[in-house]
Amino acid sequence: MSAPQLLLGFDYGTKQIGVAVGQMLTQHARELCNLKARDGIPNWEQIEALIKEWQPDALVVGLPLHMDGTPSEMCVRAEKFARRLHGRFNLPVHTHDERLTTFEAKGQRLAQGQQRGSYREQPVDALAAALLLQGWLEQHANS
């Protein structure tokens, strides 16, 4: 099987799920959108619409590990989300260590002067998804 060319990345959360798109050719990922979730359950129709629109070769889900590398409670939920993505859409789903991506995303927004409201008003989940997908792309650059 050849390496995936176009990927969607997901920053899983219980209230929001950030989505990013990236491609192997350019080794670049960018923010796409934030999806609402209810206790971690997304609107699967919205995800299906994104998959139909972008037709990715694979999906990447961020794993929020503890700083020492051990799985967190959210990590277990993100892995379950990854399994459900695979089960529903029959696409390869990869996971990627996302430690500090949300923290880095908030820092980037502050540096850009875009964080004028609260985090709830201006979520950074899509940017965090782009950062974790960018990390996956860089890690698999020569695959």
**What band does 120 get if pLDDT is binned at 50, 70 and 90?**
very low
pTM as predicted:
0.84
Residue predicted with more confidence, 105 or 94:
94
- The total domain count for the chain is 1
Residue 72: inside a domain: yes
Question: Does residue 123 fall inside a structural domain?
Answer: yes
* pLDDT surpasses 80 at 51: yes
| pLDDT tens digit sequence for 57-103 | 999 999 988 778 888 889 999 999 999 999 999 999 999 988 655 54
pLDDT at 125: 85
Q: What is the 3-state secondary structure (H, E, C) of the chain?
A: CCCCCEEEEEECCCCEEEEEEEECCCCEEEEEEEEEEECCEECHHHHHHHHHHHCCCEEEEEECCCCCCCCCHHHHHHHHHHHHHHHHHCCCEEEEECCCHHHHHHHHHHHCCCCCCCCCCCCCHHHHHHHHHHHHHHHCCCC
Q: Is residue 50 part of a domain?
A: yes
Residue 1: inside a domain: no
Within-domain flag for 112: yes
- The whole domain housing 99 covers 6-139
Residue 118 lies in a domain: yes
CATH code (residue 73): 3.30.420.140
